[in-house]
Amino acid sequence: MRSSPAPRYLHQSALLLALLLAAWLRFYRIEYQSYWNDEGNSRAMTAKSAGDILRAAAADIHPPAYYLMLKAWAAFAGESELALRGFSALTGVLLVALLYRLGREYFDAPAGIAAALLSAFNPFLVYYGQEARMYSLLAALSAASFLLFSVWLRSTRPPPSTSYGTRNPQYAPRPTSLGFGRLDLGFAYCLLSALGLYTHYAFPFVLAAQNLAALGGLLAHRRGDWRKRLGRWIGLQLVTFLLFIPWLPAAYRQLTTWPSAREFHPFFSALAEAARFLAFGRTIKTDEVRLALAGVGVLLLLGLWRGGQTITPLIWLVVPTGLTVGFGLLGEAFSKFLLVAVPPLCLMMGNGLVIMPRPRYAIRSAQYARLTQAIRLVLSTVGIWLLGFGTFQSLTNLYFNPAYFRDNYRGIEQYLRRVERPGDAIITISPNQIEAFGYYHRSGAEVFPLPHARPLDQTATTAALADIAAKHARIFVLYWGDEQADPDHFVETWLNANTFKAGDEWYGSVRLATYAATTPAREIAVPVGARFGGITLDGYTLKSSALSPGDFLQITLFWRTDSALKERYKVFVHLYAALDAPPAAQQDGEPGGGRNITTSWEPSKQYADNHGVFLPADLAPGDYTLMIGLYNLIDEKRLPITLGGESVGDRLKLETITVK
């Protein structure tokens, strides 16, 4: 029986629409956000030779296949954000086409169309379709591998002899003359699965799901000599493993030595978090989509109700998700491992969206058919509205909400360009930030990647920092990944003790700190004796009271407490043109640049606390009042100040600063 031209035309038109929507969502504002750290690593890899890529990947945590493919792509596309991210966007569009084909394989054409549309809009897939990393490719390879696996497995089955096949020949398993599976499909499966292994170490989760599904499928269809078919499947796995053997030593070393923070959650919390990532991605919080997650559950149940080959996609969904949760990888850093489980989620929900029964179940009473269709229509409408609500919120955050943007190295460079002076220095922690930052910072201040080795060598790092501080008046530090590169915060502690910190600003998860690189005072120049609650300011030393716009005001405050402190306090250093107006320049921060918090102070011990205030380049000349104070870190309530037994309010005047 051949399908009529009209439905085929409608299916093709719907698939084209899904592909166009997928392309538009993945290319929309694809250049708006700057490369972040890992994307910088991808860009740097494209400039290496194939041999250097293999060596660099062996020292990294990812296998080399994506980098080699990206190098070939960049040879004609270039290295811009659009060019390199475009590779991921196109693999994301390919995934949509694969899901249509998988939907037809497991269910029927309408379910395939629905799955393709859901994957086109899926925020998790869209997010990584706009990132120059291997995760969009990983998802596409998992879908392609499952398609080849399913078609090959079906080709191993002898022709059915039941009346079911005669009654519905269009939907019966296709017969094969080979008996033990088509060799071309098996060969393609091995190559594609090996490519998946060479792309990311989450791909074994896919193979685990396939092996479980294969065992169940072979046991469920034991017509003929099923043991030989099982042997053929084991052979395919062995061939795939043999293709990966050259990289196995590097993979073992990376997976057993690379540091990673594991997160383990209670069952229901883990279930909600995993479902949120799978359905709505990382650009929305779980609490914001709890109702929308109910829509996901409704569509999954409808998919199971409608039937079809539901076991395979269900295994595909559950196994990678369960392994990700079980290994403690359910967190923001490792959530992308779940991408291999997004395709089966789209397949199951797509099957649930289709109202009409599958053709093989079309022989029912008219009354029963109308009732079930009405129930499915109501439930699927509720499910799609809830799903659409969460999807819209997440995609809006992805495109327009800065709270979810990637690390903004472009913005950092734009800021540094505005304030740069000859003699500035930039330190990147960890050192591989230079690969992302370097794309935007092509000239200007010299960049120093630190530390030079892991674990950090304190002697060598001290020498490097002292040399940088001796040769440069201002230092800008990009802190990112320092929990791995510098877990003891040695660099920041040294800078806080030997320079004047003027503040922090966040650009995504990159913290840009600014320092004036001059030697801090070791002794008090101006005694004070003011009391800030239970804290005494013994005195201070000011480097200079005559400054110019763009300079750093540099002051060292000497604190002491009579008893141990239970609260954390921040210091504010403000410059006022008028005391009843907002400060013209300021710096707020915990003592010691945040590394010497007040709850760690020992009674009667004096603490030198260095602060720098960056004077804006457009600061008007004139006299400014320098005032300081302390406030609670939690409620921001300022401490009352007494001087000579007299109350002076909640801010203390120190000096008049002249801006030339």
Question: Is 158:177 a contact under the CB 8 Å cutoff?
Answer: no
Highest-pLDDT range among 121-135, 356-370, 510-524: 121-135
The answer to whether position 181 is within a domain reads yes
The pLDDT confidence band at residue 364, using thresholds 50, 70 and 90, is: low
Q: Which residues contact 372 (CB under 8 A, 6 or more apart)?
A: 357, 364
Residue 1 lies in a domain: no
Instruction: Specify the pLDDT at position 167.
Output: 39
Q: How many domains does the chain have?
A: 3
Is residue 553 within 8 A of residue 528, CB to CB? The reply is no
The answer to whether residues 323 and 388 belong to one domain is yes
Examine the pLDDT at 240 and tell me if it is beyond 80.
yes
Same domain, 320 and 438: no
> What is the spatial order of strands in the sheet that 526-532 belongs to?
607-614, 552-561, 535-542, 526-532, 641-643, 646-649
Q: Are residues 290 and 220 in the same domain?
A: yes
Q: 588 exposed, middle or buried (CB, 10 Å; 0-12, 13-18, 19+)?
A: middle
SS (H, E, C) 513-564: EEEECCCCCCCCCEEEEEEECCEEEEEEEECCCEECCCCEEEEEEEEEECCC
pLDDT for 176 equals 42
Among candidate residues 583, 588, 568, the one with its CA nearest the CA of residue 625: 583
Residues 6 or more apart whose Cβ sits within 8 Å of residue 109: 7, 11, 103
What is the secondary structure of 375-420 as a DSSP string?
A: HHHHHHHHHHHHHHHHHHHHHHHHHH-GGGPPP-HHHHHHHHHHH-
Q: Tell me the C-alpha distance between 309 and 580, whole Å.
A: 73
Mean pLDDT, the chain, whole residue set: 91
Q: Any idea what the Cα angle at residue 480 is, between residues 474 and 481, rounded to 5°?
A: 140
Residues 536 and 509 in one domain: no
Residue 515's contacts (CB-CB under 8 Å, 6 or more residues apart) are: 474, 475, 476, 477, 495, 499, 500, 501, 502, 612
Q: Do residues 126 and 111 touch, judged by C-beta distance below 8 A? A: no
**What is the structure's pLDDT at 175?**
42
Q: Which of 391, 380, 204, 238 is nearest to 299 (CA)?
A: 380
**592-643 residue pLDDT tens:** 988 899 999 999 999 999 999 999 989 999 999 999 999 999 999 999 999 9
Whole-angstrom CA distances from 345 to 95, 115, 384, 567, 576 are 13, 9, 14, 48, 58
- Domain assignment present for 169: no
Question: Residue 270 and residue 253: Cα distance in Å, rounded?
Answer: 29
Query: Do 369 and 483 have their domain in common?
Result: no
Q: Are 65 and 200 in contact (CB under 8 A)?
A: no
- With cut-offs at 50, 70 and 90, classify the pLDDT of residue 171: very low
Q: How confident is the model at residue 161, as a pLDDT?
A: 53
pLDDT digit string (tens) for 6-29?
A: 677 888 899 999 999 999 999 999
C-beta of residue 71 within 8 angstroms of C-beta of residue 46: yes
**Residue 341, pLDDT above cutoff 50:** yes
Could you say which of 387, 404, 421 is where a domain stops?
Answer: 404
> Are residues 493 and 629 both part of a single domain?
no
Mean pLDDT lowest among 42-46, 158-162, 519-523: 158-162
pLDDT band (50, 70, 90) for residue 63: very high
- Looking at the structure, tell me whether residues 86 and 143 fall in a common domain: yes
Q: Cα separation of 144 and 137, whole Å?
A: 10
Q: Which of 545, 562, 570 is nearest to 636 (CA)?
A: 570
Give me the residues paired with residue 561 across strands.
535
Domain housing 487: 409-516
Which helix (H) or strand (E) covers residue 573, if one does?
strand 569-576
Is 521 a domain residue? no
Say if residue 43 is in the same domain as residue 130: yes
* Rounded-to-integer distance, Cα 281 and Cα 285, Å: 9
Query: Which DSSP state fits 329?
Result: B
Clarify whether residues 459 and 597 are in a common domain. no
pLDDT, one tens digit per residue, over 294-338 is 999 999 999 999 989 999 999 999 999 999 999 999 888 899 999
Question: What CA–CA distance (Å, rounded) separates 135 from 140?
Answer: 9
Q: Are 435 and 352 found together in one domain?
A: no
**Please, what is the Cα angle at 187 between 183 and 188, to 5 degrees?**
120
Q: What CA–CA distances, in Å, run from 136 to 63, 119, 208, 338?
A: 15, 12, 20, 11
385/419 same-domain check: no
Question: Which of 368, 384, 404 is where one domain is finished?
Answer: 404
- Structure tokens given for 372: 């079930």
Nearest to 156 by CA among 88, 230, 74: 230
Digit-coded pLDDT (tens) for 113-124: 999 999 999 999
In a domain, 338, yes or no: yes
What is the percent of the chain where pLDDT is above 70?
A: 93
Domain-ending residue, one of 452, 487, 516: 516
Q: How far is CA 185 from the centre of its chain?
A: 35
Q: What's the whole-model pTM score?
A: 0.88
Q: Give the model's pLDDT for residue 256.
A: 87
Same domain, yes or no: 560 and 444: no
- Structure-block tokens of residue 551: 């300079």
